[in-house]
Structure 1
Amino acid sequence: MDLRLLDRLREAGYSVGYCATLLRNHVLIMGTARRAVNAGHAPICVFRGCLMEYPDGNAPMPETTNAKPADAMGDGDSAAAGPGRRDPTVHAARHAIEILRCISQSQPEIGVSDIARRIGLHKSSVSRLVATLEAQRVVERNPHTDRVSLAPGLIAIAAPLINHMGISQASRQRMAQLAEESAETVNLSIWDGREAISIDQTVGPNAITHYAAPGQNNPAHCTASGKVLLAFASEADLSAVLRAPLTRYTERTITDPAVLRRELGRVRETGLALNRAEFSEDAGAVAAIVRNVNGQATIALTITVPLYRFGKARERKLLELVGNAARDISGQIGAMTAAGIARRQP
């Protein structure tokens, strides 16, 4: 058994235990086409170092299958690189991107079988890649249809680009105004299914300010942006956060799920959230929900303040400022969306 094939299997997403079982049972044969059934697993076919898995038990010879072998999930060594040349690309990464592109062109959602047919990969390979993308929160599955769509976690990866696009374009002028009015740092965040992700920031004029780079993750249970987004998230997201351990960052961090659920209920009523030294001992924040053109609560606008400048009177004033700005940005996003639709119409 060539250990390079074992590495390829592991890169393809097979567990170490599964690979070890295959080795013990001599399922993997190099240099020849052969089917073998390992108890509890799909038939495996290996041909010239190329792995294919066929859950239905009908494995064709590698020369005749139209689906790309799951070797395409390996590290590259493809004929596409030309005779005598090694393809420097990683097939698994390339196919993951193909899947994301396929999903993006099939909004609102698409099934795994349709993805496999469109990109020419076997369904089992696509299923494993989709599961990986789902675990990384860049793809989400509709529990009612079992079809998949792009998830907000993808925005976190592209956060630096978003600074110059879409949401940020609609909000940047108003964020700058809010930073001037409050003299504090203003952030815009989106929800990725578990946390708030910072996508844009405007720093206020005060000498001592808070900085959060685009792409930074903020816990849902103890930050103003996280709480306001969690309050309007799906019940599935809320339940997942409440089931997980609520990490204590300071003495004021809420770690009781029942207490957090009650606070989120109040946040839903007002559209405003507060963090007073719950995540950092020396900082507080206020946040308001921003709605898109469909009225969906998808974005958080936050003002972050050093705790020594965060008295009760200051808190009330900042809540008023952030609420007004969030309503203005919601209107700007709606106006930009409507203008974009009008431009695309013949």
Structure 2
Amino acid sequence: MSSTVTKALGLLEYFSEEEPEFGLSELARRSGVDKAAVHRMMNAMAESGLVEQQVDTRMYRLGAGVLRLARVRETAFPIGSIVHPILDGLSQETGETAHASLVSGRSLANIGTSESKKGNRVSLVAGEVLPFHSTASGLATMAFGDPKLMTRVLSGPLLARTAHTVTDPDELRARVQSVQKIGFAESDHTNEEDVHGIAAPLFDRMGQACGAVSVSTPSHRMTEAQRNLTIAAVMTAAQTITAGMGGQPSRAYGELAARVMEDLGLQ
């Protein structure tokens, strides 16, 4: 893919539920791309319906073309109908917020969330891009995904999201290797203050991680009993979603997951 196309599609990643519209200057500032170049790329994507520009405010937002493509994707390869009921059950079982994410290009995108019913809860935005290096979902995906993914993440900027974020490549590699040994990932205060995440990988048909399912809990509410419950529930949900998507874990991971469940007294 040419660098121009890559940069153009990369502009779409800035749009979210929290920030559904952007002006030209702000997109240029966020992306670090020349304003004139951003203008050309946005105009080209507007012609394809991927974005549209408000006549009065001149603000850009995602266009109907994105919705059409999303419907085609969901019809041909249903994800939402598989994931959302499982996330609802996972949230109900753990009492906390459950969410699933998939690798989308060079990003990890949240594709579904079921929020806790508790007043004090972790909230995620649909379509939110999750950092690989600071989230449990990202660590789980890197640990069992394409090795090129970890290489790319480690070679890129590792921004500190909190005072506890691991930004040293060697230390992060060691964390990923630990995840490979235990079959699931944890993050505590590393992406958001007072948020403890536990995630298990989702696998594609080739047996490589293509995303993760996770439960996010306020750290002050995480006890040993809650942790064990969450690990078991997340790993079970990950297996169910993987099967529903037509994926399959490697034999080695399947054996590892079985040992984890046995240690938790569930097999």
TM-score range, shorter chain: 0.5 to 0.7
Counterpart pick for 1:259 among 162, 171, 175: 171
String of CA shifts for 1:191-227, please: whole Å, max 9, x gaps. 1354321011111222222121111011111111111
Is contact 1:187-1:303 (8 Å) kept? yes
Structure 2 partner of 1:233: 145
Structure 2 partner of 1:177: 89
Structure 2 partner of 1:286: 198
Counterpart pick for 1:301 among 208, 213, 234: 213
Output the aligned Cα RMSD. 3.5
The reply on whether 1:189 has 2:118 as its aligned counterpart is no
Alignment partners' CA distance in 2, 1:303 and 1:251: 22
Counterpart pick for 1:272 among 184, 194, 197: 184
Q: Normalised by the size of structure 1, how large is the TM-score?
A: 0.49
Is contact 1:160-1:214 (8 Å) kept? no
Is contact 1:174-1:329 (8 Å) kept? yes
Q: Normalised by the size of structure 2, how large is the TM-score?
A: 0.63
Alignment partners' CA distance in 1, 2:216 and 2:69: 23
2:78 partner amino acid: G
The reply on whether 1:219 has 2:128 as its aligned counterpart is no
Instruction: Classify 1:290/1:236 alpha carbon distance in 2 versus 1 (closer, same or farther; 3 Å).
Output: closer
Alignment partners' CA distance in 2, 1:159 and 1:198: 14
Structure 2 partner of 1:85: none
Is contact 1:160-1:199 (8 Å) kept? no
Deviation at 1:331, TM superposition (A): 2.0
Instruction: Classify 1:184/1:160 alpha carbon distance in 2 versus 1 (closer, same or farther; 3 Å).
Output: farther
SS of aligned partner of 1:334: coil
Alignment partners' CA distance in 2, 1:285 and 1:160: 30
Deviation at 1:279, TM superposition (A): 1.0
Structure 2 partner of 1:209: 121
String of CA shifts for 1:144-191, please: whole Å, max 9, x gaps. xxxxxxxxxxx9x97799789711211222211111000111111011
2:93 partner amino acid: E
- The runs of 5 or more residues in structure 1 that have no matched partner are 1-10, 13-73, 76-88, 98-154, 336-346
1:283 partner amino acid: V
Instruction: Classify 1:255/1:321 alpha carbon distance in 2 versus 1 (closer, same or farther; 3 Å).
Output: same
Is contact 1:188-1:302 (8 Å) kept? yes
User: What pairs with 1:1-346 in structure 2 (closer than 5 Å)?
Assistant: 90=43, 93-94=46-47, 166-334=78-246
Higher helix share: 2
1:296 partner amino acid: Q
- The runs of 5 or more residues in structure 2 that have no matched partner are 6-38, 51-65, 248-267
Give 1 or 2 for the bigger CA radius of gyration.
Answer: 1
Instruction: Classify 1:308/1:220 alpha carbon distance in 2 versus 1 (closer, same or farther; 3 Å).
Output: same
Alignment partners' CA distance in 2, 1:224 and 1:255: 15
Instruction: Classify 1:199/1:322 alpha carbon distance in 2 versus 1 (closer, same or farther; 3 Å).
Output: same
Higher relative contact order (CA 8 A, sep 6+): 2
Alignment partners' CA distance in 2, 1:242 and 1:259: 10
Is contact 2:198-2:214 (8 Å) kept? yes
1:290 partner amino acid: L
SS of aligned partner of 2:246: helix
SS of aligned partner of 2:245: helix
Deviation at 1:237, TM superposition (A): 2.5
String of CA shifts for 1:26-81, please: whole Å, max 9, x gaps. xxxxxxxxxxxxxxxxxxxxxxxxxxxxxxxxxxxxxxxxxxxxxxxx98xxxxxx
Deviation at 1:305, TM superposition (A): 0.6
1:304 partner amino acid: S
